Amino acid sequence: MKAYIIRRLLYMVLTLFGASVLIFGLYALTPGDFVDNNPKLTDERKAELKQMYGLDKPVVERYFVWLGNAVRGDFGYSLQYQQPVTSLLSQYIWNSFLIASASTLFTWLIAIVIGVISATRQYSFFDSAVTIGAFAAMSFPSFFAGLLIIKFFAVDLGWFPPGGMITTGSNATGLAYVWEVIDHMFLPVLVLTMLGVGSLTRYFRTNMLEIIRQDFIRTARAKGLKEKTVVYKHALRNALLPAITLLGFELPALFGGAIITEKIFNWPGVGQLYMQAFSLRDYPLLMGFTMFLAILTVVSNLLADLLYGVADPRVRLK
Amino acid sequence: MSSIVTETAGLAGTRTGARRSSLWRDTFAKLKKNKVAMCGLVFLVIMFLFCFIGPFFSPYASGKVNTVMINKPPSMAHWLGTDNLGRDILTRLMQAGRISLTVGLAAMLLSVFIGSVLGVVAGYYRGVVDQIVMRFADILMTIPGLPLLFIIGAILSEWKVPTDYRIYIVMLMLSLIGWPELARLVRSQILSLREREFMQATESLGLRDHRKLFFHLLPNTIPILIVVATLRVGGAILSESVLSYLGLGVVPPTPTWGNMIDAANTLIDFQKRPWLWIPPGFAIFATVISINLLGDGLRDALDPKMKR
Amino acid sequence: MREALVEVKQLKKYYPITGGIFGRTIGHVKAVDDVSFAIRKGEAFGLVGESGSGKSTTGRTILRLTDKTAGEVKYKGVDLHAVSKQELRRLRPSMQFIFQDPYSSLNPRLRVGDAIGEALMDHGLADKSEIRERVQEVLSLCGLAPYHIDRFPHEFSGGQRQRIGIARSIILQPEFIVADEPVSALDVSIQAQIINLFSDLQEKKELTYLFISHDLSVVEHLCTRIGVMYLGSLVEIAPRDELFARPLHPYTRALLSAVPIPDPRLKRERIVLRGDIPSPANPPKGCKFHTRCPLATDRCKEEVPVLRLADSDHQVACHLV
Amino acid sequence: MTNALLTIDHLQTHFFTPSGVVKAVNDISLRVREGETVCIVGESGCGKSVTAMSVLGLVAEPQGKVVGGDIRFDGVDLLQLSPLEKQQLRGNDIAMIFQEPMSSLNPVLTIGEQIMEPLWEHLLLSKKEARAKAIELISLVGIPRPEEIMNAYPHQLSGGMLQRIMIAIAISCNPRLLIADEPTTALDVTIQAQILDLLREIKETYNTAILLITHDLGVVAEMADYVVVMYAGKVIEEGPVLELFSNPRHPYTRGLLQAKPVIGQRKKRLNSIPGQVPNLIGLADSCYFHDRCESCMSVCRLKQPELKQIDDGHRVACWLYEEESGLA
């Protein structure tokens, strides 16, 4: 077990190193930066700023400086906000985490319930409806789904606020504040859930269908167990196990995927921050966030694999 | 593939054309029974006709600016209304579809090509080549697709790539982020096929390497490639639309479904002129769902045991 | 005594078990652990054993379908594991392998005619024009119809597929065939057809067989000399009649008595072995069979018995014989 | 003679596939008496397993369905039972073990949990009682260190051990009938001998009736009191074991007995049955064996023979014996 974790950690560091080269390389390729893009600055001032931010040094040197700082947890200063990238990210990350975790929760709950029911009633009307519905959910461009929902629920019906996290100018506190946030969360979470639920439902349905045909399910039935026990204890447990590793992909993908949704709903999360940083070419922030995603991906993959190793007796690590 | 057919045909001598493709005929027969998948297929054909032939029947195909007819809601003359330059939305939808479908198809072809070549090389030769290819794939896969696309898209904007070329570059970008997953898939297929007894039989028969590769290994990965490739087109169309919507992909005046929805970024168009941005959104949705349904049908027909 | 066609000397095949931070080898599954025997020209040598006995790995290693760990395999005096790839390829047609699973041993996307004929073409053993004819010939030899040539494997039953697999080997005019459990996936009535096909072919083509099976009755029917394997080692080798009349190793005796006989009147004294077959990753010390042997002594726990001649042409590895 | 415990009459189980209706079990009848071992023997696809699954109501729906006949267990018509009643019967009065012990146990639950489940469900034991009983059952089937085994997972045990565990689960509620579907096919010969011994022991100790399904005539000869031979979904011959083996009547039964190589009875050539088992879709009214039969007559191609009594307790479905029983 220990050896396995160490091996994985070593490998993880290597992968992250590769990713950092890739990320830095991509940004270094880009002509123009925060300083160049600001027409108000004089040439002298530009040169001064460039020296200050180290933008005048060769690429390789800049990379190692950046990497050296990054390893110490310092991703530099956001040029736009004049704040350390890490503190900026940690400020906004919780807002993102709020809608990401809420939608993950709903996605999994809905996907498990619907997936199991449709697998136990394969070829029924319900099953066909679920199948088509799942494909529909997978086929919406995320931004279009967001736009449609805002247009319909916020603009036309006026049931929910069209964006933001709190009503502009509101100074609600306590429960009223919580309620206001929930009100604003509703639509973005709905969109994220809708976008994610399709493929996960398909996953659970396929998995359950496969498991229900296995010999040990026949044994469970032959033992005279209740159908509920057979489906929810014997089959579902087996279907859930491999899904643990999915979680490892889901989480980072959700942060990546929520970028669009956050932008559309004007939700003050890292995605929104990221999109703004884009238009202003705030490279330290962009690189910091991209690196954060890469770290999140690698770490959550490792955690998911370890969790799976603990949960599944067949691969239980020694 | 063609060399296989000719060589085997030569080997077996008198063979009727009808028998030749019986495995594919079986597949198609199975697919035909799947009503949902057939609906998808039929719709896709209609969509293609609509986009590629439709403009020839439209009186507004020239796309001339018409200052009198700006932002008009749907009417008898303009079924889906007109845009801020007075162009017919329906016609633009067709022209945009050409680009979106082409980008989707081309990106798929390119990523399938790169992915399968690298996957085959990695899986067949293993060792160092395998390590290099797969580690590189791993690194690319650590960054979620969208942010990676945004970065590359932003670079493009900075390089001031002429708008005419951007569509090719978008294709390249999409295949660049698409290939690692395909390479992994093909590699794992090759690795598991190698363990099958018929591959050991080729060793026992003393067949040459190229024969093992092109007659035994590759033909057996084609079914799964077809399915994944089909689904890929849908994914590429979706990604392209996001990029173009954000102005990081194909940019006007070249129309795509994605950048048509860009109209929604103006508050007044978004709230009051839904005919500007809802039709392209539904065109994307309908195309992608058809592709997904067809792909799922193909999966069932080609290999029912295959999992996603 | 006829000359040996194949000589196996101290053959070992270990599969590494990896672990640790850098995936070091921390142990071995000793699938084949020091096996020596010879197969004489024209005979059918049977290799029997239960799962984990390494009989199948022995067969594969003999034909160099997997690489050996140690030892040598001489085919007509040539060490198969020492020759170059080109030389090996040149030798391939004369020694063929027949697989157990008739479903996975045929490429699903290749027509029967192509599957059987391609090796002829690839080795340049026949003109393109005559291949089809040769394929049809060999199809009828193996009990299939010439019109089957254009069909795909999935159109056939298990028994017919096994015939296709046999035809694929036979067309190369081999001298030596390793057949790995070729009938164990088949039903009794079909099994008999395939066993008969094996005997017919041997008669017509003067073949030498290495016939691997877990089924003693099949081996008794087809083979003239038999080796019994247990956990990677050969425990007994003897001519058929000798082995069945006078089994010397306690394992062979137990194996023989465990096979159910389809005769309800027959009441036999049966030796039921205790316990399970140990894992080849962690075989018992001394005689590998001592954990289940009803006669085991202290010596068996310590000392590995060597295969030695107990009688003319009857070898056994047991301290008690 | 003891009473019939299980009576199957004219059972028909069909599978509705895209290429047609597969009549997997096509009008078969058989009975199992208390304490008796009945063997159903036949080759793959003859419907022997489907028969067993039909008894327990485990045929995979909606493709498979019992479409006719009835199954009575101790006088109760099983096909008329509600799902709840069926569930209470399974594992309790009728238990079953399967061919593949490796895949027949849930990989993510402990052995102990899986043995205790039916004890909770049917015998309503408390956790503690169930645990004690489970440990007792494990040692009963001859596995040492039962406490350790309780906490083990299936992948940690060998095939033979797992089959013993399956047997422990099956006998946990003292069933009156044990259905064993190819219980030793996946096991090695020396392990097979152990399992067959165990089954015999259980039968003698508890007077459990056994319906044993197998393709191996050797196993039949060792275990059976009464034998039923199936071919293509039909019973073609049945009789007490001694009678059937010493005096097989149906050409298929004879063929099977001669096709199997037997240790110590070597022949120059095995008598094989030519051809293949027919496709079960769209069979015409004929003897299903006619195209492989060496004594095929014209009537065999036109009409299906019925199962007729020819001797005391020996029944055969073959036109060769129709005259003997007094019919033309």
Are the beta carbons of C194 and C182 closer than 8 angstroms? yes
Domain CATH for B199: 1.10.3720.10
CATH code of the region D4-93+175-321:
3.40.50.300
Q: What is the pTM of this model?
A: 0.86
pLDDT digits (tens, 9 = 90+) for D100-145: 999 999 999 999 999 999 999 999 999 999 999 999 999 999 898 9
**Mutation test of the interface with chain B: which of C96, C135, C150, choosing the one with the most B Cβ atoms within 10 A?**
C150
- The answer as to whether C186 is a domain residue is yes
C258 and C208 together in one domain = no
Last residue within a domain, chosen from C177, C203, C223:
C223
- Has residue A72 got a pLDDT over 50? yes
Distance, in angstroms, between C86 CA and closest chain D CA? 40
pLDDT of residue B22: 67
pLDDT of residue C23: 66
pLDDT of residue C281: 84
Of the partner residues D194, D242, D263, the one whose CB lies closest to the CB of residue C259: D263
Distance, in angstroms, between C189 CA and closest chain B CA? 24
The domain tally of chain B equals 1
Distance, in angstroms, between B113 CA and closest chain A CA? 23
**ipTM field:** 0.85
Any chain D CB within 8 A of the CB of C9?
no
Q: Is D36 helix (H, G, I), strand (E, B) or coil?
A: coil
Pairwise CB contact (< 8 Å): A144 & B271: no
Residues 143-172 in B contacting A (C-alpha not used; CB under 8 Å): 143-148, 150-152, 154-155, 158-159
pLDDT of residue A34: 61
Per-residue tokens: A234: 């014997």
Percent of chain C with pLDDT over 70: 98
- The answer as to whether C70 is a domain residue is yes
Are the beta carbons of D22 and D196 closer than 8 angstroms? no
Of A312, A113, A77, residue with least CA distance to A200: A113
Last residue within a domain, chosen from C204, C223, C242:
C223
The domain tally of chain C equals 2
Peptide bond into B253 cis (omega under 30): yes
Q: CA-CA distance, B126 to A251, in Å (whole number)? A: 31
Any chain C CB within 8 A of the CB of A22?
no
pLDDT of residue B15: 39
Contacts of C195 in chain D (CB under 8 A): 261, 270, 272
Contacts of B11 in chain C (CB under 8 A): 113-114, 117-118, 121, 128, 131-132
Distance, in angstroms, between D190 CA and closest chain C CA? 6
Residue B277, phi then psi, degrees to nearest 5: -120, -15
Domains and CATH numbers, chain A: 91-281 (1.10.3720.10)
C53 and C94 together in one domain = yes
Q: 10-residue block means of pLDDT along chain B (308 residues)?
A: 35 40 74 85 90 79 71 74 76 87 91 91 86 88 81 76 81 87 90 89 91 88 87 88 84 83 76 82 91 87 56
- The answer as to whether B185 is a domain residue is yes
C219 and C255 together in one domain = no
Distance, in angstroms, between A221 CA and closest chain D CA? 8
- Has residue C311 got a pLDDT over 80? yes
Are the beta carbons of C197 and C166 closer than 8 angstroms? yes
Residue C198 is classified by DSSP as H
**What is the domain extent for residue C290?**
251-321
Pairwise CB contact (< 8 Å): A222 & D96: yes
Domain CATH for C132: 3.40.50.300
Q: Is D298 exposed, middle or buried (0-12, 13-18, 19+ CB in 10 A)?
A: exposed
Angle between the N-to-C axes of helices D159-171 and D111-122, in degrees from 0 to 180, rounded to the nearest 10:
10
Residue B252, phi then psi, degrees to nearest 5: -60, 155
pLDDT beneath 70: ranges in chain D: 1-2, 323-328
Contacts of B196 in chain C (CB under 8 A): 104
Of the partner residues D190, D192, D197, the one whose CB lies closest to the CB of residue C254: D190
What is the DSSP code string of chain B? Answer: -HHHHHHHHHHH-S--HHHHTHHHHHHHHHHHH-HHHHHHHHHHHHHHHHHHTGGGG-TTTT----GGGTTPPP-SSSTT-B-TTS-BHHHHHHHHHHHHHHHHHHHHHHHHHHHHHHHHHHHHH-HHHHHHHHHHHHHHHHS-HHHHHHHHHHHHHHHT--HHHHHHHHHHHHHHHHHHHHHHHHHHHHHHHHHSHHHHHHHHTT--HHHIIIIIIHHHHHHHHHHHHHHHHHHHHHHHHHHHHTTSSS-TTS--HHHHHGGGGSHHHHHH-GGGTHHHHHHHHHHHHHHHHHHHHHHHHH-TT---
**What is the domain extent for residue B142?**
93-281
pLDDT digits (tens, 9 = 90+) for C133-171: 999 999 999 999 988 898 888 888 889 999 999 999 999
Could you tell me the pLDDT band of residue C76, with boundaries at 50, 70 and 90?
A: very high
Per-residue tokens: C252: 């062979």
Pairwise CB contact (< 8 Å): C277 & D188: yes
Residue C148 is classified by DSSP as G
- The answer as to whether C75 is a domain residue is yes
Q: Which residue of A has its CA nearest to B37?
A: A132
C111 and C21 together in one domain = yes
C207 and C294 together in one domain = no
- The answer as to whether B64 is a domain residue is no
pLDDT digits (tens, 9 = 90+) for A222-239: 999 999 999 999 999 999
